[in-house]
Structure formats: structure tokens, C-alpha cells
A and B are shown apart, each in its own frame.
Chain A
Amino acid sequence: MQIGLNFTLGNTLDLVQRLIREGEVDYCELLIDNFLHVPPHELAGAFDCPIGFHIMFSKFLESDPEYLESMAARLRTYIDVLKPMYVSDHVARFNHNGRQLYHLAELDYRSEYDAVRQRVERWQEKLGQRLYLENYPSIMDSGCDAPGFFERITQETGGGMFFDASNAVCAHHNCGLALDAWETLIDSTPHFHVGSYNYSILEPKVVLDTHDGELSSDTLAFLERYKERFDKPGATMTYERDVNIEYDAIVADLRKLRAIFGDAKAVSHV
């Protein structure tokens, strides 16, 4: 299992490069939207390790074709130069009636399947390579439809599952979806995400995908229980941390992941 870090903002570049240099991560995942102002060769030169792409704001399920064509053209330039291990995007709702949702919403997987499938096929075609689709950290009961939705859409579009293990743990807590329901999808893909969650302010508490602290014990137990399913040739496990970005705390979590997957501390890339 290759262990990586999701790199979202330029002001953490020194931290990410140190993690690479000291062998704490094997690759770096770029939230690529945030770096499209950096020339691709310059971006490639900043990382002495393999790269993954995570797309945040294509909003490919909602955006108009002209915007997606333009964004895909820009992304393809970066794909050609950086040759990422994978390209992933979000299956979620970013707007409602033209108004921006600041906390993304979950699809109605039953009624929206056909429209989403068409969108996935088009976006994947525009990107020119397999598109990995990330599961949403469900709060409401729509989450129970997610595994069946992702199984069907990956089979019918040729896309891949980008399985966020901690999002599945959120869904388990919030809507009672068994972690076992994801087995087939975990088997189907080599690319994974993991991060911390936290709790809502109000009662009854719901579990929120916050990436603000250390990995929970139940997330780690999930990875441990399924480690043979997660680990496979070319597998990647990207650790997400967007808040409280502290080197030692991140390293502690990265080493917990390495301990689960039986990897010795990575050899330095220097």
C-alpha cells in the first residue's frame, strides 16, 4: 500500500515536501483545481514523487458543457505532463436552483441515476482517461443507496470507485449503512481516501467529514479488518487533512496507516 497526502493549498508546500523528503509519504495527491495557475512543468518539478489528481470544483454533474470542455482541456495538459496515478472527482451536489451549497449535498441515487451516468460518461471522455468517483459522507438515508449506485455506475461507465473509507464510516454512523456493504467496491479499486471526522454541534449528533484531526479508532479498525481487500498492486491510500495541519500529528496518523498495511517507513526519496 502506498501512503499519500492530499495537498490542497500552496502554503503547506514546505510541509508536504518535507513529508516526501523524509519518506513519510510515497506520493502526493493534488487538489488540482487549486494549482491550475501554476505551469504544469513547474508543478511537476515541485514534487519528487508520484502524483494523484483529485478534482474538486469541476461540478461535472451540474456545469454547462462549455465550462467542462474548457476545464477538461486545461486538466488534460496537466495530465499529460504530470501523468497522475489516478484522476478522481466528487459525486455530490454543489448547487441548488443556481445557488451555491457550502456544505455539499448528497444525490438522490435512485431518481438521478440516468442523468448522472450520462454526466460521468461525458466527463470521463473529456478527461481522456478513467475517472474515479468518490463516495459522499452520508448524513441522511440516501446513503443506504450509495453502494448499489456506485457498483452500477462503475460497471456501466467503466469508471472506477474512489473509495473514501472514513466517508463510509460517517455513513455507517449516520444512516446505519453496514461497512460490509462496500466490500465489492473495495475489491474493485486500488484507490482510497481516509481522514478524520467530527461531530455536529447539535444533538442528535451526526458524524461529519471534517479532516481536522487524528483518525478515529473505528476508521482504523475498518482499515485493519479489510486490509487484505484494500491492499493490492498499485494501491494508494491518501490521507486528508485540511485543518490543524501540524507535521507531527500528520506523521503520527501516516504511521498508523503504515502499521496497518505492514509497510516499513518509506525509503527516502532524496
Chain B
Amino acid sequence: MSENRTIDSELLDALMVPARQADYPRDSRAFVRIDTSLRVYWHVLFDICPELLELSGPDGLSIFRPFMAWADARQLSMNWTFISGFISGY
């Protein structure tokens, strides 16, 4: 793209893949936009099952990041089966 701009659709592949967030500078709007997306998945997981935080530590990342990578590798739909996917597969 000739213009110096980043559009939302360029970030789609990263919106549910924590590892892809590092493709963008930490001080960029893109980084924050991806973080905003990832936080929703985080809440869907830990708000429903806060006991997981007792296993992972308070930020949940030791569970969240590998789970999201696993879900990406298997292309989980992340629809209403999100939690059952976590329980049954991960």
C-alpha cells in the first residue's frame, strides 16, 4: 500500500493470535487494537471460569496464550463452543 496507513483488515490474522501481536510495534495503534481484541477472548474464558486464574496466576497468560495458539492451530471457530473447546481439547 502506497499510503502510510494501516487499515483494520490488515490486522485480522492477529486479532485472536497473541503471538502475532508482536509483529507490531509496542507503541503502535495496531498493537493496542490487537490487545483490545485479545482481551475479549481472555474475559470470555476467565470470567466464566475464574478458578482458572488460581492455576495460571493472576494474569492468566500461562493458560491463555498457549490455549489461543492451540485454538489457532486447530482453527477453532470461537463461537458458542469456545468453552467446550477449552474443556474438551486443551
Q: Which of B25-43 contact A (CB under 8 A)?
A: 27-33, 35-37, 39-41
**Residue from A97, A100, A142, A208 within 8 A of B8 (CB atoms):** A142
**Residue from B6, B33, B40 within 8 A of A102 (CB atoms):** B40
> A93-B9, A96-B15, A106-B9 are known contacts. Are A204 and B29 too (CB-CB below 8 A)?
yes
Are the CB atoms of A106 and B41 closer together than 8 Å? no
**Residue from B5, B7, B27, B77 within 8 A of A106 (CB atoms):** B7
Kindly state whether residue B19 has any CB partner on chain A within 8 Å: no
Are the CB atoms of B75 and A103 closer together than 8 Å? no
Interface segment out of the listed A17-25, A133-141, A161-169, A218-226: A133-141
Are the CB atoms of A174 and B37 closer together than 8 Å? no
Could you pull out 22 A-B pairs where Cβ atoms are within 8 angstroms?
A98-B75, A99-B16, A100-B77, A100-B82, A101-B15, A101-B16, A102-B44, A103-B37, A105-B11, A105-B12, A107-B8, A139-B29, A139-B33, A140-B8, A144-B5, A174-B29, A200-B35, A202-B31, A202-B35, A203-B27, A204-B27, A206-B32
Q: Which of A97-137 contact B (CB under 8 A)?
A: 97-103, 105-108
Most buried by A among B10, B32, B36, B79: B32
Please report whether the interface of chain B is mostly helix, strand, loop or mixed according to DSSP: helix
Which residues of chain B come closer than 8 Å to A99, judged between CB atoms? Answer: 16, 75-78
Most buried by A among B11, B44, B82: B11
Kindly state whether residue A201 has any CB partner on chain B within 8 Å: yes
A108 to B3, CA, bound (A): 14
Size bin of chain B's contact surface: 20 to 34
A43–chain B nearest beta-carbon distance, Å: 24
A 74-105 binary contact with B (CB < 8 Å = 1; else 0): 00000000000000000001001111111101
A208 to B35, CA, bound (A): 12
A100 to B82, CA, bound (A): 10
Q: What is the total of A-B residue contacts with beta carbons within 8 Å? A: 89
Residue of A at shortest CB range from B81? Answer: A100
Residue ranges of A at the interface with B (Cβ–Cβ < 8 Å): 93, 96-103, 105-108, 138-142, 144, 174, 200-206, 208
B31–chain A nearest beta-carbon distance, Å: 7
Most buried by B among A93, A99, A138, A206: A99
**Residue from A103, A144, A206 within 8 A of B15 (CB atoms):** A103
A139 to B78, CA, bound (A): 23
Are the CB atoms of A96 and B8 closer together than 8 Å? no
A144 to B7, CA, bound (A): 10
A203 to B36, CA, bound (A): 11
Kindly state whether residue B13 has any CB partner on chain A within 8 Å: yes
**Residue from B27, B30, B79 within 8 A of A140 (CB atoms):** B30
Are the CB atoms of B9 and A107 closer together than 8 Å? yes
A207–chain B nearest beta-carbon distance, Å: 11
Which residues of chain B come closer than 8 Å to A206, judged between CB atoms? Answer: 29, 32-33, 36
A200 to B27, CA, bound (A): 13
**Residue from B8, B40, B75 within 8 A of A138 (CB atoms):** B8
